[in-house]
Amino acid sequence: MSYQRLQNGADAVALEACAGLALACAYSSSDEYEAELIQARRKAGAYGSQHHRQAYLAFALAAIAVIAALFIL
């Protein structure tokens, strides 16, 4: 496992630990905490990469072009 992944995992654990410390927490609302947690998880790759979405979009556009070409011919 890479150092970057370990660091991101440690950041997520630190964020979760902060949730239990109401007086010492740096977040003024649960919305701020959730936004920071989602950002840390995205860095760790929890929600998939942007590259996969672009590949799916390219495949869909190619499929549409092939279907359109078949209808034209």
Tens digit of pLDDT for each residue in 18-55? 665 555 667 788 888 888 888 888 887 777 666 777 88
Which residue, 6, 67, 63, is CA-closest to 40? Answer: 6
pLDDT at residue 13 is higher than 80: no
Q: 């920071």: which residue's tokens? A: 36
**CA–CA gap between residue 10 and residue 16 (Å, rounded):** 10
Least Cα distance to 37 among 68, 54, 13 occurs for 13
- The dihedral built from the CA positions of residue 38, 43, 45 and 50, taken in this order, carries a sign that is positive
Residues 6+ apart with CB under 8 A from 45: 5
What letter represents residue 68's amino acid?
A
